[in-house]
Structures are given as structure tokens and as C-alpha cells.
Structure 1
Amino acid sequence: MQPQLDDQMRLKLFTDMLLIRAFEERITQMAHEQGRLPGMQITCHGQEAIAAGVVRAMAEQDVIVTNHRSHGHMLARGVDPGAMMAEIMGKEGGLNRGKSGTLHLADPAHNVLMTSTVVGAAPLLAMGAAFAQHYRQEQAVTCVFFGDGAAAEGSVHEAMNMAAVWKLPVLFVCESNCWAGAQAHDVHCPIGKIADRAPGYDMPGQVVDGNDVEAVYFAAWKFFQYCRDGRGPALLECQTYRMRGHGEHDPQHYVDKDELAAWALRDPIDRYAQVLQNDSLLDSRDVLRQQAVQTVDAAVAFADASPYPAPEEALDHVYANPIGQEG
């Protein structure tokens, strides 16, 4: 069974991508031009279709475990941009009261369990979340995002192996963006497609154009149903390209400029705008683009108005409270 994409959902996919792009552009501006953001800033320019397509295919009860390139996943899930921006700026009004920063964002209210910046660790954490879902007999799936660089880590193999052995409801989403730090894909991986590993774990795998938001949506929806039916995990590889450096600190001098320009022509937002215009669903993206920018403006204003955490609270929330103990 294939879902039907109505006009409303198609426009949601498009506006999700516009919001993610506007948010990341502002992060880049604030990090470089204004120097206002503490720590490393890692963005997902050019990878918006994966976040929008996968997350929109999820059910409300499904959960996300994500990696260092998490902003798009969280925005597509409906996380408040103001609380996100405040967290990135280290403010009290942030999702995690300014203590997680950009690299450890979490929002349990939207079933975003955690951001793990330890490369390759997120799939192990997702396996634990999926084990809980399986144990409780919930009709829920854990979706975990990781890159093709992380796929070389032993922890990813362990997570896929045990998820398959226990038939856990995990959708492994590999955002294959051709780079692992400063290493090109063929330097660290002997195969062209990460999804080719899926049969070795007796799980289904599929490669999809990660810059085609509808293709991502349909593939993810199919695998979410597979996992939800109790048939075990699945692996979805979304092939795309990292349009900026590993982080905003990285000028990516090692990237071939012609290759980068070729991928820029496959920009997921430009492509989908053309599709929607051809189907008479979009006259111009300018209005929707401006709405996204205004949302980000409001997020920055909220973050600016939020105070920094009080110094005396620095050691609060370091340890979890014992089970049954409030506070």
C-alpha cells in the first residue's frame, strides 16, 4: 500500500524545507558575520529533503534519535524554532535550558529523544529506544539518522545486527552526503551504496535520491509501516551532498568546486518548487520563503530576549534523580 500525497502535504514538505534552509542560513550568518554563537555549528544546507521527507512520513508516536546535523530533523518534527535558537545560543529559554547547545539538542515533547555527536553512537541509542517500544508492545518506530562516515563505525554494525536479531522497530536512515569530515566517500568506504549491507543483516534496504523529497517520503513511509508491523528493522540510504563544510568552521578547500557546482544544480528546494509549479500548486515561493524568514526572525528575537542561565544552576541536572524521587 502506498500513501497518497495530497496537495496540503506536498506544500507542508515544501514549507518544511524552506524553514530549515532559512534557519540554517541564519545560523551561518550568526556564526560567521556576527560571531554570536558559541561552539561548533553544524548545518544541513542541501539536505533538507531528507529531513522533511522522512519526518513527515513518521507517526506521532514514533521517536527520533539523531546526530550532530540535527536542526532539520527537529524543525520538520515541529520543534519550536525559538526554543531551538535559544538553546543554540546557550540561553535559559532553550529546549534544555541552555545546557545542551547545538550538539546535544533534545525535545521529548516532540519525541526527539536525543542528539548524539559521538559518531556512530546514535544507532546504538536508537536500538535501546526501540527495545523499549518492542518490550511495551507499542505501535511505534524509532528513526535514527546517521551519515555514511558513521556507517564505518563498529557501533553501527552492532546496532544493525542486534536490531535484526531481536526484530526491533528501527528505521536506520543513512544520510549519505559523500563526505566524512574531510574524507570523500570512496576513501573510507569500499562500496558505493551503504544500503547494500542490509541483506547481511536480513533486513530490507533501499537507496533513494535524497534530493527528491517525495521519493524520500514514499520510501520512508513504506519502511515505517514495515517496522511497525513487527517485521524488524530496515535501512534507508538517502544519497545527497554536503553543500558546506563539516561545520561552519570548515572552509572545505578540499572539495572539488565543479563537483559542488554540479550538486548545487540538484538543489532539493529548487527542484521541488519546479514540480509544484508544474502541478499548479505554487505560483511563486517568495511569499512562503518570506514567511520562513519571519519565523526565524521571531526565533532569534525570542532567543535574544531570553537570559543566560544563572551561574548557581551550573551543577543542576548533572545527574538523574533516583527513580520515584521528584525534584
Structure 2
Amino acid sequence: MANHPGGTTVVTDFPYPRLGRHALDLMRLIREFESRLAGYAAAGLIRGSTHPGVGMEAVAVGVAIALRTDDTIASTHRGHAHCLAKGAEPGRLLAEIFGRSDGYCGGKGGSMHAGVAPHGILGTNGIVGASIGVATGAALAAQLRGQDNVSVAFFGDGAINQGIFHESLNLAAIWSLPVIYVCENNQYAQSAALRDMVANPDLTARANAYGIPTHAVDGMDVAAVYRAAASAVGRARTGQGPTLLVADTYRFLGHMVGDTEIYRDSAEVDRWRARDPIPRLTAELVERGLMGPDAVETVERAATQLVDQAEEFARRSAAPPVATAYLDVYQPDVHQEAR
């Protein structure tokens, strides 16, 4: 499954009886949540861009269920799935996306800058590749404090060409930091195809120069993602240093709400939709006798109900008062500046 320049690791099996249903619940919730964003934008409930991750749920969930609550993640502009998988409440997250006062950041962060400290969510981020530096810093902090927390950086294939990727991996390797770098290779950096943006399409090769173990994983298979993530988390938590995971995945919708998608054809989208991670896991659970048709319907109804409740909560939430505009923002001592 992988290149292991830093040594072999033990990859645990996916615990279907314990986590299979939980993973399906999370993926269904994320799919329902993300699928409604375009409608919210059309209704004027979302200001600015928002980036659905429909189709990419298995990466977020497979990684998150391998983590503890006190482990940290740093996310991207397409980060709602990561937040929900890590434990964010759908209502408060949607309120944040709507820019409402009951959102996790009081409505000031919106879709691309939502953080949830109690769940170790260091923030979604509109700056390409910024999550890489944030997670590396969090891993260094845990190491300096003598804690066994690990940190995860989610980023896309476009971000892997940013300088911060190489700077961070170099430092993480030198200091054996407890950090996992998760590249969600959804084949496009906005509208630029991966094949046109890199000389070597094998992105796992990027970590070899730093002696960091790296795994190429099927990002449409939540069990495969979990196995790779659990192995990487085990290494990080026991002081063995960083790992790079490259998860091949695909966004079924456009880069952002309103994307014309002129850069790809429908046949390509259909090929990836045939590998949808949700029916894949559902079929596996049914085949193993862990779910029946009634249970499958229950999961679907529960996801719809949860997002209905989240929408009701977010719509009821008021906009932040104008007087709060300068709260929670760092401001130097103006008197000190005057002196």
C-alpha cells in the first residue's frame, strides 16, 4: 500500500462492528449538509463563496475516526466535512456559514474560516496551503509540552506545490513532529488539472526527499483511509514522527457554488460517481450482516433530520450586532503606539 522510507508500520484493520455504522452516519450527514449549500447560496443565506465537498466524505471521516477529541486538525477552504467529522455541531457550523451570531466564530469566520477549539479544530482556511503550517506548529507545541496529541493538516493537490509544504515537511522530519499531512487529491486545483500542474503525478514521492513515510490511499474507500490514518496516528503518537497520506478522491460538484465546470466533462464526473464512497460502505456493511434495508433507511432519515434541525437553528440565529465588529480582533495598545 505504501512507500516506507522511514521504516515499516503496522496498519490496523477497519473495525466494522464498532466504527462502520458511525462512519456511515457521518458520511451521510456530511453529504446532506454539503448538498444543500448551493440552495442556501441561491437564497441569499450565504454571502461570498462556499466550496462543497460532495464526494470527498471518506477522507474526512476516515481520518477523523482515527483521532481523539484532543487531537487537532487544520483545514482548508473546503473544510465543512472535516469539521463535522471531527465533532462540530451541524447547527452551529451552518450558523457560522450563514454569518450568524450563534455560529462557532460569532458569524465572523463564515464558510472558509470556522474554528472549533473544544473539538481540536484549529480552523478552516481560505489561504491555499496555510493548514500545513498551522498543523505543523500545533504538533511542535504538543511535543514541547510533552503531550501525546497529534495534529493533522488537510490540504489539496494544488497546495502541495506551495513552498510551505516543503518547509513544513523538512522541519517535521528534522524534529520528528507528531503531524500527519493529508493531501486530498481531488484531481483539480480549482480548474487546473493535476496532470498539467506537476511533472511527476506520484505525489507520494514528495515525502521521500525528507525520509517521511508516505501512503497512497483510495480516498473513495473510508476503510482504506482509516487504516492508513490509524497507522500514521500510531507513529505520530509514539514519537516516530510525521507521515504523508495522499488520498485520491473527487469532488462531484464544482470548485465552488456557481462553478461552470467547463474544465471537465460529464463522463469523467460519472466515472467517479460510480465509486461513490457512501454506497460502497453501505454495501460492505450489508454484506457483512451489520445492516439491513431498514437500518439503511434509518441512516438516511437521520441525516436529513439533523440537517433540517441545523437549518432551522441557523435561520433563527440573528446576525451579529454591528457593535461586535471589533471584538475578538487583536488590536495593539494605541497608547503604547503613541509613545
TM-score by length of structure 1 reads 0.95
In the alignment, the residues of structure 2 paired with residue 304 and residue 259 of structure 1 have an alpha-carbon distance, to the nearest angstrom, of 36
* Residues 1:18 and 2:28 aligned together: yes
Partner residue of 1:241 out of 223, 233, 250: 250
| 1:49-88 pair list within 5 angstroms | 49-88=58-97
Matched, 1:9 2:27: no
Gaps of 5+ in 1: 323-327
Q: Which of residues 306, 310, 316 is equivalent to 2:317?
A: 306
Task: State the TM-score, normalizing by the size of structure 2.
Answer: 0.92
**Given residue 128 of structure 2, which amino acid in structure 1 is its aligned partner?**
V
CA offsets 1:73-118 (integer angstroms, 9 cap, x no match): 1101111111001110011100011110011000001010122211
In the alignment, which residue of structure 2 is the partner of 1:278? 287
Deviation at 1:251, TM superposition (A): 2.1
Alignment of 1:1-327 (within 5 A): 1=10, 2=12, 5-32=15-42, 34-284=43-293, 285-319=296-330
Mapped partners of 2:147, 2:256: distance in 1: 37
Once the two structures are overlaid, the 10-residue window that deviates more, 185-194 or 65-74, is: 185-194
Please report how far the alpha carbon of residue 321 of structure 1 lies from its aligned counterpart in structure 2 after TM superposition.
9.0
Q: 2:87, 2:172 → 1: CA distance?
A: 28
Gap regions ≥5 residues in structure 2: 1-9, 334-339
Q: CA, structure 1 residues 320+54, in 2 after alignment: closer, same or farther (shift >3 Å)? A: farther
Amino acid corresponding to residue 214 of structure 1 in structure 2: A
Report the CA distance between 1:62 and its aligned residue: 0.9
RMSD: 1.4
Distance in 1 between residues matched to 2:331 and 2:14, nearest whole Å: 44
C-alpha deviations, 1:106-135, integer Å up to 9, x for none? 000101012221101211111111110110
State the aligned residue count. Answer: 321
Contact 1:53/1:220, CA 8 A, preserved across alignment: yes
- Measure, in 2, the Cα distance between the counterparts of 1:62 and 1:245: 31
Q: What one-letter code is carried by the residue in structure 2 that aligns with 1:245? A: G
1:325 corresponding residue in structure 2: none
Shift of 1:29: 2.1
Structure 1: how far apart are the matches of 2:66 and 2:331? 33
User: 1:134 and 1:116 mapped to 2: Cα distance?
Assistant: 24
Paired AA for residue 95 in structure 2:
A
Instruction: For 1:187 and 1:252, locate their aligned partners in 2 and report how far apart those are by CA, in whole Å.
Output: 17
Partner deviation per Cα, 1:247-287 (whole Å, 9 max, x = no partner) = 11212121122111111100000111111111122223222
User: Partners of 2:170 and 2:46 in 1: how far apart?
Assistant: 39
Query: In 2, Cα distance between the equivalents of 1:320 and 1:95?
Result: 21
Counterparts of 1:57 and 1:320, CA distance in 2? 38
